[in-house]
Structure 1
């Protein structure tokens, strides 16, 4: 079987139609395949085929040139966001506009902050290192005071907005936060846990009897009564009777702070509190808790804006007994003793309410006894005394 050896194209470069030159090695391999019958000799394209190919290549070149012309004013070709880089950056105009908006907002915040500091410099100065923090809340009382406190920071009458204005109580703790219990330890044959319970229960009794809005409104202080031992002879029955039918001998004020809402109402929801609590061993199988606290009540006269303050100081001793040694109810308190000083109230009335005197009431509503300082915790006024207060 004969073979037709292909004729090698002339020239070593491009043939004018864009065809790539054939190397000696490629040509030798092609001849070998044709002579062995493994391939057909390549046929040279006809003149018409070369013309069509050349025209198509020319059209492709014109299209590519047009695309380059339309994109010539772009600085860089678009690329998709990388999976690590996130969204493409905004152009310089967007970044500049964002910076201007941010600068405007920061400028407003700086101006507002400067105005606030100008009006209330203490917001900054009170928190500086070494700053005077005398205007802050006083630390807890840990020992009996030896003198009366100085006047408040402003010697002026209280207002609805500043009900403790001009009072030393402005630096006292708010409500129940001012009643702190000491660290418990075993005492009187009672375990540490039992002593801890006696302290917590006494604190709850003080809060329920002197700070609970229900009690202050003159309603029945059920929570406080539930803390007391029903087996303590006559105590709980006496208190309940005094609430239902108050008189000179059965006065609920001996345990509870109460105001007639038609006569005086609390300004806001803060009562200032200061005092201390201690404990000691009682009879074997009992522990006694001693509490001495002063409460300052800012009061509003109904129908107006006139504000006054009534101050109540209470001394209370409670006991927790071991029911295996005493006739008592487990975890309930017994009242061992109580005393009270009421300041800025009409002491002649025995209706179970405190009756504060307002500046517009005149001298007829004010006690005429010896003048006393209601904030002086270094001295105890005799129970039942009713004098003129030097300040409220």
Structure 2
């Protein structure tokens, strides 16, 4: 509330408070009245006299000039303090992190950034540093380079098909579509992420490829160090972890060349960033970063004993950032600052999980490493 100064009338009239007080004092002492007071002034004066006769004139009207002046100064001071407080409340509401300790848990506001264009070549280095911000349930990618990445399947950009080697343009387009379906089914399908069977991803793999589906089924049924489904699929235990929101950030590229088996080979290199929180209502948010590189081939069934319209997996590899070391239960286990880590402490080198400028395995250590950021 903004107060008024002593010079301002309190009832909307054209006569100030001080003028009315002086008029009353002069009237009571017998001094000559002001010349031709207005009708409104006479009305107000008469009302005040009646109130005084009843004994209900406000104290400010009966105060001495010094006391009235002090009251006016107090009103002016409190008015100024009220305006300052209102401004402070507004500033804090717009930027609550200005308060020491960020008591509302808001953190810095998420930096507005335009989306990156689709990746068309291998990056030459790690993404640049971004403002150090704490991820929240409302802003799970705050403080992450992935904030500017595409959302989910939109980040898997299929290049334009053209004939290569003995493979027609249509066969190349089919290989690209199947590779995209495999990536989505293995890394973005909500059922897969909840730890369910990755049916969509498995449906594009050739059942005639020796041992592949048997190994996949064994890893899903009985995970172990030798049969780890995380080598192909991103999975979280829903009793332990919940995804935050519905967006997984994705960035990478897909290329194709002539295949070795009268077909087309597709090379895919993608990184997926998963914002997660602990199941059970915790508000702490962290992220797990998974990079996958795979080569698949769509061969010609006229020349080889393969299943038409299915992919043969030539090679697959992965790098996982912020997940427990040496735990082989088939699930990713992100580390939270508020919880004890799962598995042994990492002892390997520190790496940037967002750096996709080198091939997987280059300068790799046998020891589970530490991520420089999440």
Shorter-chain TM band: 0.5 to 0.7
My pick for the range that moved more, 271-280 or 353-362, is 353-362
Task: Give, in whole Å, the separation in 2 of the partners of 1:260 and 1:342.
Answer: 16
Task: Give, in whole Å, the separation in 1 of the partners of 2:296 and 2:171.
Answer: 13
Pair 1:155-2:137 in alignment: no
How far off is 1:368 after superposition?
Answer: 2.8
Match of 2:346 in 1: 367
- Assess if the C-alpha contact under 8 Å between 1:265 and 1:301 holds in 2: yes
Task: Give, in whole Å, the separation in 2 of the partners of 1:300 and 1:364.
Answer: 15
Match of 1:227 in 2: 204
How far off is 1:190 after superposition?
Answer: 1.2
- Assess if the C-alpha contact under 8 Å between 1:342 and 1:386 holds in 2: no
The TM-score normalised by the length of structure 1 is 0.64
How far off is 1:135 after superposition?
Answer: 1.3
Match of 1:241 in 2: 218
Instruction: Tell me how large the CA RMSD over aligned residues is.
Output: 2.1
* Structure 1 residues 45-64: aligned runs within 5 Å: none
Q: Secondary structure at the match of 1:208?
A: helix
- Assess if the C-alpha contact under 8 Å between 2:270 and 2:293 holds in 1: yes
Deviations, residues 84-119 of structure 1 (Å, cap 9, x unaligned): xxxxxxxxxxxxxxxxxxxxxxxxxxxxxxx9xxx7
The TM-score normalised by the length of structure 2 is 0.67
Task: Give, in whole Å, the separation in 1 of the partners of 2:360 and 2:316.
Answer: 13
How far off is 1:374 after superposition?
Answer: 0.7
* Structure 1 residues 75-90: aligned runs within 5 Å: none
Match of 1:212 in 2: 189
Task: Give, in whole Å, the separation in 2 of the partners of 1:339 and 1:350.
Answer: 16
- Assess if the C-alpha contact under 8 Å between 2:322 and 2:371 holds in 1: yes
- Assess if the C-alpha contact under 8 Å between 1:341 and 1:385 holds in 2: no
How far off is 1:283 after superposition?
Answer: 2.1
How far off is 1:233 after superposition?
Answer: 1.0
Task: Give, in whole Å, the separation in 2 of the partners of 1:234 and 1:276.
Answer: 28
The higher radius of gyration belongs to 1
Match of 1:146 in 2: 124
Match of 1:281 in 2: 258
Deviations, residues 132-190 of structure 1 (Å, cap 9, x unaligned): x98111001111111111123x3111100100000000000000000001111111311
How far off is 1:363 after superposition?
Answer: 6.4
How far off is 1:362 after superposition?
Answer: 4.9
Deviations, residues 36-77 of structure 1 (Å, cap 9, x unaligned): xxxxxxxxxxxxxxxxxxxxxxxxxxxxxxxxxxxxxxxxxx
- The match for 1:340 among 315, 318, 324 is 318
Match of 1:179 in 2: 156
* Structure 1 residues 189-204: aligned runs within 5 Å: 189-204=166-181
Task: Give, in whole Å, the separation in 1 of the partners of 2:271 and 2:315.
Answer: 17
**Inter-CA distance 157–362: structure 2 relative to 1 (3 Å threshold):** farther
- Assess if the C-alpha contact under 8 Å between 1:188 and 1:283 holds in 2: no
Task: Give, in whole Å, the separation in 1 of the partners of 2:370 and 2:327.
Answer: 16
- Assess if the C-alpha contact under 8 Å between 1:343 and 1:386 holds in 2: no
**Inter-CA distance 182–364: structure 2 relative to 1 (3 Å threshold):** closer
Q: Secondary structure at the match of 1:360?
A: coil
**Inter-CA distance 191–381: structure 2 relative to 1 (3 Å threshold):** closer
Task: Give, in whole Å, the separation in 1 of the partners of 2:320 and 2:341.
Answer: 18
Match of 2:304 in 1: 326
Pair 1:387-2:369 in alignment: yes
Pair 1:137-2:115 in alignment: yes
- Contiguous gaps of at least 5 residues in structure 2: 1-89, 96-110
Match of 2:241 in 1: 264
Task: Give, in whole Å, the separation in 1 of the partners of 2:165 and 2:197.
Answer: 34
How far off is 1:380 after superposition?
Answer: 3.6
Q: Secondary structure at the match of 1:290?
A: strand
- Assess if the C-alpha contact under 8 Å between 2:346 and 2:367 holds in 1: no
- Assess if the C-alpha contact under 8 Å between 2:155 and 2:252 holds in 1: yes
